[in-house]
Amino acid sequence: MLTLCLATAIFGFSHSSHGLASIDTSYKWFYLQADLSKQPDVDKATKAIDSAAQAGYNGVIFEDATLETGPTVTPAYNAALQQIVGQAKRLNIELIPSISPIGSAEAFLSRDPSIVESMPCKSVRFTLTTGLLKPSEPVTPIVNGGFDAFTGDLPTGFTGTHQLDVKVAQDTAVKHGGASSLRVDGQPTSVAGKGGVAYKQALVVRPWHQYRISIWTKATKAVGASLDLSILSSAGRQIGFMRWNNTPDWTKNDMLFNSQDETNASLSIVVQPVPDAQVWLDDLTFEDVGLLNITRRGNCPVVIRGDDGVIYNEGLDVNKVVDPFYTPANWTGRFDISHATPTPTVGPISRIHEGQSVLMDYYAAAIVDGGATICPNESRTRAALRAEVKKVVGLTHPHFVLLKISNVRALGWDPGCEATGLTAGEIISKFVKDETGLIRSVDKSVQIVLPSDMFDPNDNALDQFFLMKGSAAGSIKGVPKDAIILNSNFTHPAESLGFFAGQGYQQVLWGYNDNADHIKSISDWEKIAGNMQGIKGYAYVTRTGDYSHLTDFSQFAAAGAR
């Protein structure tokens, strides 16, 4: 999650006229992710709720992909859901269902991949070769992508630096291919997530083309050693990003990016090892992937034309243009970025002849760090979200609903979003306002809960944030004043808590996150929060299903609140 430190004065106005506030721990929540269509998950949920009740929690933020998607649920699923709802009610635990996922959107995309937020690809050249239309524009290769040549400890063709907490070497003994690899050695002073090496190399690209960067890596002490690949525009704006935790064996890692209107970009490689770890990099490649992850729906057309302006017909000159990787048999809702580039075929009476090239305009899924978002303004998305709200509120009768608007990293490019003329931040603002109105049309008493990241100017609500078109700032304008913010900004807690407090919002401190260090740090965070109005409690968050620290976390939170 990207954060940006703003002036610490931002939180001063939150309490200047009210004096010192005390921590209110009215809300003691925990996070539960389960699929109640599976009996083991039903058992897991039952046990987690029992454990939380014994530890004094009074709310469960409940996320279930099966509940999120589809207009209805099966009788068996509903029976399991009502079992959990009833158990929570008996134990005086509020069930807070999670809905409206536009950032982490796999559940919705698993039902309809075409609603993915997509980016335009323009004038991409394909040549008919042995009956297949293949991307045919030459790609300028990466210089020394095999890391076979070095000047001292710097691989030829790259610029960059490395910190004192690492050493860099050309390794001729351990390599994936060629003569050598690049090895980064962590030192005893290395700190995970800090320092490391950063290399750059200029790339020549064509505007509005889709490219794939691939690199082979391996590591010792792989846990915590990270590799980031970024593509930067000529102005230094990030237009592509992927992060991997390294593996102990050679593994191929891929990243997609759309060049947008650029002709020149740069590749950035950042390696951050943990103490005494070794990370190897080798065989870095760059390719045009054409129609990979192409989006097919009415407002995302495919236009095929010749250099002379002749328009060719899909279904006659060219058979249906699709990515055959995505079939009902293998579709999970998560877009794959590593499969082969689709190569359409021509029809039996096609006007396109062998060796001829054509240009294509189309849309393809916007992928950032391996994940995709959905366009909230696409008509099919809106229909699905309306059905979800009515179903979830009708089945669970909640007092609170979490709008899962988090980690939205691509927005505004899709025809459905672009037609609004709004920035990414304005699109999110409008979406929150619309969803709130929809929820309260079903039950006017429901209170809205929101993760903080996409509304926080100290986190992701920035002028430039990944593939957000226009500024992502201003999203807070659509948030109702009685909403509760789940604040997860550990990096800049004073600035973040102060921002929302200054806006008059209630907040719950989002803690633990499968990190034992966060058990004690909740007390420190509460000391900062104690200077502000509207702090209502804390939430224990685990995505691995680890509820063993529920009591410890609650005890530290209670101590910090005093």
Dump pLDDT digits (tens) for 468-519.
Answer: 999 999 999 999 999 999 999 988 999 999 999 999 999 999 988 887 777 7
Mean pLDDT of the chain, nearest integer: 89
pLDDT at position 164 is 64
Dmax (CA) for the chain in angstroms is 80
Q: Please compute the mean of the pLDDT values over residues 430-434 and round it to a whole number.
A: 95
Distance between CA atoms of 248 and 268, rounded to whole angstroms? 23
pLDDT tens digits for range 275-314? 878 899 999 999 999 999 999 999 999 999 999 999 999 9
Q: Please compute the mean of the pLDDT values over residues 231-255 and round it to a whole number.
A: 90
pLDDT tens digits for range 117-160? 999 999 999 999 999 999 999 999 999 999 999 998 899 999 98
The tokens for 381 are 């998305």
pLDDT at position 479 is 97
Quickly state the pLDDT bin for 1 (edges 50, 70, 90): very low
| pLDDT of 186 over the 90 cut | no
pLDDT at position 194 is 64
Quickly state the pLDDT bin for 223 (edges 50, 70, 90): low
> In this structure, how many other beta carbons lie within 10 angstroms of the beta carbon of residue 89?
12
Q: What is the DSSP letter of 298?
A: T
| pLDDT of 221 over the 90 cut | no
Give the rounded percent of residues in the chain with a pLDDT score beyond 70: 93
pTM of the model: 0.89
Residues 341-358: b if buried by 16+ CB within 10 A, e if exposed? ebbbebbeebebeeebbb
pLDDT at position 555 is 87
Walk me through the domains of the chain, giving residue ranges and CATH numbers: 8-112+374-561 (3.20.20.80), 150-287 (2.60.120.260)
Q: What three-state secondary structure class fits 81?
A: helix
